[in-house]
Structure 1
Amino acid sequence: MEALAKAYEARSKKINKVETIKALKDPMEVYERLDEIAQAGYAELSKEDSSYFLKCFGLFDKGEDFMLRVRIPGGQLSFEQAVRIGEVAKEFGNDYIDITTRMQVELRYLRIEDIAKVLRALKEVGISTFQTGVDNPRNIVTDPLDGIAYDNIIESMPILKQLQEIIGENPEWISVLPRKFNTGILGSMSNSCNIFGHDCNFVLANSEGNFGFNVYLGARVGIQAKDADLFVMPEEVPAFFTALLSVFKKYGYRDNRNKNRLHFLLQDVGIPAFVEAVKKEAGMEFSQGGRTLVQSQNIALGANKVLLKNGAYAYKIIVPSGIFSGTDMIAAAETAKRYGSGDIRLTYDQNLYIINIGTENLDAFEKSELIGKYAVYNNLYFQDMIACAGTQTCSYGVIPNKPDAIEMAHFLNSEVPIDGAQVRMNWSACPKGCGVHGIADIGFEGCKAKDAEGNRVDGVHLFLGGKITRGAKEAHILHKALPIEEAKYHVKYLLKTYADHKMRGETFEAFETRFFNKNYSYQAISFFTKINYIMRDRLGLDVMFELDKEPASGRREEYELFTFGLKLFKLLTGEKRFEAVNGLAPTLARPRKIKRDEVSRLNPDVPPKLSEVIYNMTHENKSERAQVFSELLVALKEV
């Protein structure tokens, strides 16, 4: 414990304002006054209640109304619970529901006078909203098909329920942590809940023939969890979890809120020292890490129907950007009861499953009204899309986001339809990253950008190459501050390359590793999408600059830049920039003497600035050539 105590002492000179607020009262005092607050309205609501204490119970003051986070452990809803959520949304929340990446729901547009009634209605069917905001252990996620999928080895929900009982509505854990704490537990082979993306992750593993969990710790936005080299058996999970929370509660930082997540404590003291402290707190010795078994993406990725262990089916309803309604939640529950077991499973990617549909009912189920309504979204670009709340409902949002994600998905489906493909596109409306854009195949982070005329417009930072498999990693930023209207074309060219060169059944994640990442630098890929946008969509040229399957230049930027220039010269003029001599490589061939506007002279549709860019890429004197793609991207802004 010495290392933790020392680190805590170094960071305890000053506490943040939120810690000062937390010391003012017991959160349960506010919860017990909800009837009074409902009757008196905003006059009874203190600043600290609005800014902090109500958030402990999922209530977020939006000025004229409230948003309510509803805790749904493991994303599992019974028929009665789903119906009640739908009824509450219809009666009190403008019939609106958001499905979130923590496999729970958010109700919006709730009036202050209805808050107590809403919470009572939910509690009647066993639904809690406790600890869904601020400095609390948040909703625990797992495989949405836990216990019923073929690849499920350990049923996680019984363990998850034990963890939920530990924290649940237990005042001992309400508002006592230094910062929010996310947990995932996965007993399946496939990664269906972003299992490496939480503060604490219990990941299916095997040690000496025993199935249990390897522990990964310390994820946050932009950072994947690290292997703690620790193996816990299913029956040991509750003790480990309780001890971990206790150590974090005691030694977690309480000064700079931007650096108070578990990640920063681990960064300072190291995972081994932290693990030793947890062992001491638990009074137990846990085994050394085993072999992590979660290696693939979700087996249901890109699929609507999944055959289950019992011979029945689970059917995934694609909910665009997680925007649902109370009416359709009730319809989903009734459809689930009519054709299946009546249960609903919410997913990490903001969709839902209706489970245990018998083969004898499957045909009628697929012809039902609800399934028909959402069938339009059964395509590549909606199936695995995530988008957090944007400017309409979130004060942090920079762009509308959910509508942007939906519009782009429709655009891509019309421009690049691909059969047998899988691609994950995640949208975050701001740098907080609630849409987990950093682990997407193609990620979008909301920002402001300037269009070609210099106007300030909604934009995105565009990311490529996130991984959620065993080798989880964050995506690489490909373009900064692209107008959204332009970004969709950049994505189109990435996906067209995928369509042209992918192997049968190859996911975009696997393709990015094999094709993009192996053969090209990210700078080259950035230039590739930009030059096609300029040529085809800005200038209207009937040409397409394509990437080679096995480029001669490899990933060395200076050679990539030169070979790209040669291809562009030939593409736009029909002539070779260098004349081959006895079969020598272009770098050894004899250059043609040309002027900066040569490409424009040979092809009048090419503006002089683009001609100059290609000239600089292929200058006959190597020392005079452009050295990096970034300078060319700047120059292309003038085209």
Structure 2
Amino acid sequence: MEILEEAHNLRNKKINKIEKMKSEQNPMDFIKSFEEFCQGSYEETVTDSHTKHFLKCLGLYDKGTAETFVIRIRIPGGQLTVEQALKLAQCSKKYGNDYIDLTTRGQVEFRYLKFNELPALLKDLQTVGISAIQCAGDNFRGVVTSPFDSFSKTSPIETMPLLKEIQSVFLEQEAWMGTLPRKFNIAILGDSINTCNIFGNDCAFALASKNGQIGFNLYLGGKVGVQARPLNLFVKPEQVKEVFAAVISLYKTYGFRDNRNKNRLTFLLDAVSLEEFAKSIKEYSKLPLEDAGEMLVKDEFTLDDSSTIELKDGKSAIHFGIPSGIFCRSDLKEAALLAQKYDGVIRLTYEQSFYIIADKAGIEDIKQSELYKKYDSYHNIYFNNQIACAGKNECSFGVILGKPDAINMAEYLNKEIPIKDGKVRMYWSACPKGCGIHGVADIGFEGAKAKDEEGNSCYGVKIFIGGKAASSILEARQLTKAVTMSKAQELTRELISIYKNEKIEHETFESFDTRVLSHLDIEEIQTRIGL
């Protein structure tokens, strides 16, 4: 591990301000005194250290006033029990103005929270085993897996028990509370179909086989705009916990703590090489890890017009596409009651939507429900696989509104050029930070300032095409400079028209791009769409 230490020393001659703040107080002590902390005046109590670090260890974001806090709630694997869903619905009404955001990690966020009510909210969530601890800041985000884990016909292994083992390493552990150089995303997938954006994580265990045994190939270093890379290591199920512990221990010890824009794990990997980091994992864990096995995660996930997925053991899943992830108490409550009535479960997805999984007969009854009918109009290719980040009204980095723009685009396209047979992943980020993961979309939109026909500054986007979900290789190409929203709609319509007219039956946009568009120069595509 000498090379890791050398890289660490070279980059850490001067640490950033957040690292200095971390030494001011033990986050566990802050958490224990949190109720008393919130009894004071917001203006007199909350400091920079609280907003930039300590509150984030509780999953809380301070948006600048006593009534605008945001909480990110950990939903392991996106799996919600009926009891938990009902409690979340109740709490969103009681504390959060009846507003719920479904996130790109299958998690839940509340907004518009009052400073003095935060301890009561946390206690309410704890009554059903839900926590927000370590969901923000330099901590571990919610661990993701397939929404069909344990139900999928294409999954030879259930990953939820392994996910819980991974969580047990860090969750509410003092040694891991806010002590990483930067945030850390984790995924584990036991399915051959990539239903959780597996390669977009700092640490990813992707289904593989080696000498007849099912396990995982290890991928590291993913982040927004960067896909995780293979370490040529095969990890048996019984080795997952120790390998994960080795990865995060090496990152914590040798990761960079100077420039926060370059402190994610991927930058350490760049500095020391994948081979050296893999060797260090073996040395640290003392496990006899073998070279990578055959990669089994190869397929795209598609949803047909029925919005249902046939699963094993007589189960089916019904999809509820939630435009831009904007949800509310009454609808979450109704989803929970439907799941309860038909002995089903709720599974959140990374595309800001959810499924109810139940027996086939129950699913057919659910299709007759008012809740299903409410969202039925969103069962089309423009809404089925849509993502949009919070946008400028909720995020200081946002350049555009984001969520309304995504909804407007989907509605425009569905009216102008409806398609029954196909799949298009359309992801929106309101700024270059890319929280809407537009870099892995079939068609991605990045918020930017544009010029209208009169030369006035206005909201706009840069358009990207060709991101890959079924591959660890990021291939998105920038199609346009900043264009106005109306121009973006026109150009996207023309792009979709090419796809509709030239695709093979049932072909997804991702496959179409690989087969057709990726062989064209950007200038050729621009000409074809009239740019």
Whole-angstrom CA distance in 2 between matches of 1:381 and 1:17: 43
**Matching of residues 57-456 of structure 1 within 5 Å:** 57-64=58-65, 65-300=68-303, 304-341=307-344, 343-356=345-358, 358-456=359-457
Amino acid at match of 1:134: G
Task: Note if contact 1:302-1:422 (Cα within 8 Å) is conserved in structure 2.
Answer: no
SS at match of 2:148: coil
| Contact 2:388/2:429 (8 A) holds in 1 | yes
Partner Cα separation in structure 2 for residue 360 and residue 103 of structure 1: 26
Amino acid at match of 1:324: F
Q: Is the 8 A contact 1:224 1:474 kept in 2?
A: no
Q: What SS class does the counterpart of residue 39 from structure 1 fall into?
A: coil
- Kindly state the Cα deviation for residue 495 of structure 1 after the two structures are TM-superposed: 0.4
- What is the CA-CA distance between 1:471 and the residue it aligns to? 5.2
- Deviation of 1:293 after TM superposition, in Å, equals 0.5
Q: Distance in 2 between matches of 1:299 and 1:159?
A: 26
Deviating runs (4+, > 6 A) in structure 1? Answer: none
* Bigger mean CA offset, 294-303 vs 32-41: 294-303
Deviation per residue, 1:272-301 (Å, 9 max, x gap): 111111111112121110010001112547
Tell me how far 1:107 sits from its aligned partner.
Answer: 0.5
- Which structure is richer in relative contact order (CA contacts within 8 A, separation 6 or more)? 2
Deviations 1:391-437 (A, max 9, x none): 11111111000000000000000001011111100000111111000
Measured against aligned partners, the alpha-carbon deviations of 1:554-605 in whole angstroms (never above 9, x if no partner) come to xxxxxxxxxxxxxxxxxxxxxxxxxxxxxxxxxxxxxxxxxxxxxxxxxxxx
- Please state whether the residue corresponding to 1:287 is helix, strand or coil: coil
* Residue ranges of structure 1 left out of the alignment (5+ in a row): 532-639
Q: Read off the aligned partner of 1:40 and give its amino acid letter.
A: G
CA contact (8 A) 1:302 1:384 kept: no
Q: Shift of residue 463 of structure 1?
A: 0.1
Report deviation, 1:335: 1.0
> CA–CA distance in 2 between the matches of 1:201 and 1:363?
35
Separation in 2, partners of 1:129, 1:503: 45
Q: Could you tell me whether the CA contact under 8 Å between 2:229 and 2:472 is conserved in 1?
A: no
Q: Which residue of 1 aligns with 2:21?
A: 21
Equivalent position of 2:465 in the other structure: 464
Q: Give the partner amino acid of 1:332.
A: A
Question: 2:131, 2:99 → 1: CA distance?
Answer: 19
TM-score, normalised by the number of residues in structure 2: 0.98
Deviations 1:169-192 (CA, angstroms, capped at 9, x unpaired)? 111111111111111100001000
Letter in structure 2 aligned against 1:41 = S
Evaluate the alpha carbon distance shift between residue 421 and residue 299 of structure 1 in structure 2; reply closer, same or farther with a 3 A threshold. closer
Contact in 1 for aligned 2:450/2:457 (Cα 8 Å): yes
Q: Contact 2:228 / 2:472 at 8 angstroms: preserved in 1? A: no
- 1:10 aligns with 10
Write out aligned runs for 1:537-556 (5 A): none
Shift of residue 516 of structure 1? 1.5
Q: Shift of the alpha carbon at 1:33?
A: 2.1
Q: Given the superposition, is the C-alpha separation of residues 301 and 473 from structure 1 closer, same or farther in structure 2, using an over 3 Å criterion?
A: farther
Shift of 1:303: 6.0
Relative to structure 2, which stretch is displaced further, 463-472 or 170-179?
463-472
The answer to whether the Cα contact below 8 Å between 1:190 and 1:299 also exists between their aligned partners in 2 is no
- Compared CA separation, residues 245 and 71, structure 1 to 2 (3 A): same
Cα separation, partners in 2 of 1:301 and 1:449, compared to 1, 3 Å: farther
Q: Secondary structure at the match of 2:132?
A: coil
Distance in 2 (CA, whole Å) between partners of 1:283 and 1:13 is: 30
1:53 aligns with 2:54: yes
Equivalent position SS for 1:196 = helix
Cα deviation digits, residues 475-515 of structure 1 (max 9, x gap): 10000111111101100001011111111110011111112
Cα gap change, 1:530/1:30 in structure 2, threshold over 3 Å: closer, same or farther?
Answer: farther
In structure 1, give the amino acid aligned to 2:180: L
Gaps of 5+ in 2: none
2:306, 2:232 → 1: CA distance?
A: 34
Preserved CA contact (<8 Å) 2:82 2:346: yes
- Aligned partners of 1:237, 1:359: CA distance in 2, in Å? 34
Deviations 1:217-240 (A, max 9, x none): 111222111110000001100000
- 8 Å CA contact 1:223, 1:474 repeated in 2: no
Distance 2:146 2:303 in 1: 11
8 Å contact from structure 2 (residues 18, 52) kept in 1: no
**Match of 2:37?**
37
**What is the CA distance between 1:83 and its match in structure 2?**
0.6
Partner SS for 1:327: helix
| SS in structure 2 of the partner of residue 479 of structure 1 | coil
- 65-74 vs 20-29, which moves further: 20-29
In structure 2, how many angstroms separate the alpha carbons of the residues matched to 1:98 and 1:9? 41
Counterparts in 2 of 1:133 and 1:147: CA distance versus 1, 3 Å? same
Larger radius of gyration: 1
User: Conserved in 1, the CA contact under 8 Å of 2:302 and 2:423?
Assistant: no
Partner letter of residue 36 of structure 2? E
- How far does residue 46 in structure 1 lie from its aligned partner after superposition? 2.4
Q: Distance in 2 between matches of 1:471 and 1:96?
A: 35
Shift of 1:457: 0.5
Equivalent residue letter for 1:475: A
Preserved contact between residue 318 and residue 363 of structure 2 (Cα < 8 Å): no
Q: Is the 8 A contact 1:232 1:287 kept in 2?
A: yes
Aligned residue number for residue 479 of structure 1: 480
**SS class of match (2:337):** helix
Distance 1:111 1:241 in 2: 37
Instruction: Give the partner amino acid of 2:156.
Output: I
Deviations 1:201-254 (A, max 9, x none): 100001111100000111122211111000000110000001111110100000
SS at match of 1:121: helix
Distance 1:29 1:169, change over 3 A: same
> 1:283, 1:273 → 2: CA distance?
15
Return the offset for 1:38: 2.4
CA contact (8 A) 1:448 1:458 kept: yes
Task: State how far apart, in whole Å, the 1-side matches of 2:110 and 2:415 are.
Answer: 32
Pairwise CA distance, 1:49: 0.9
Q: Are the aligned partners of 1:66 and 1:112 in contact in 2 as well (CA < 8 Å)?
A: yes
CA distance in 1, matches of 2:530, 2:342: 49
Inter-partner Cα distance in structure 2 for 1:267 and 1:173:
24
* Residue deviations 1:446-472 (CA, integer Å, cap 9, x gap): 011101110111010100111111353
Classify the secondary structure of the residue corresponding to 2:479: strand
Asked if structure 1 preserves the Cα contact closer than 8 Å seen for 2:62 and 2:70, the reply is yes
Aligned-residue sequence identity (percent) comes to 46
Instruction: Tell me the distance in 1 between the aligned counterparts of 2:499 and 2:527.
Output: 17
Distance 2:81 2:421 in 1: 33
Matched, 1:524 2:504: no
Matches of 1:301 and 1:225, distance apart in 2: 29
1:544 match: none
C-alpha root-mean-square deviation of aligned residues, in Å? 1.2
> For residue 355 of structure 1, what is the amino acid of its counterpart?
I
Tell me how far 1:302 sits from its aligned partner: 7.0
Question: How far does the alpha carbon of each residue in 1:132-171 deviate from its partner, in whole angstroms, 9 at most, with x for none?
Answer: 1111121110001101011111111010011111111111
The 5-angstrom pairing of residues 576-615 of structure 1 reads none
Give SS of 1:373's match: helix
Distance in 2, matches of 1:383 and 1:480, equals: 27
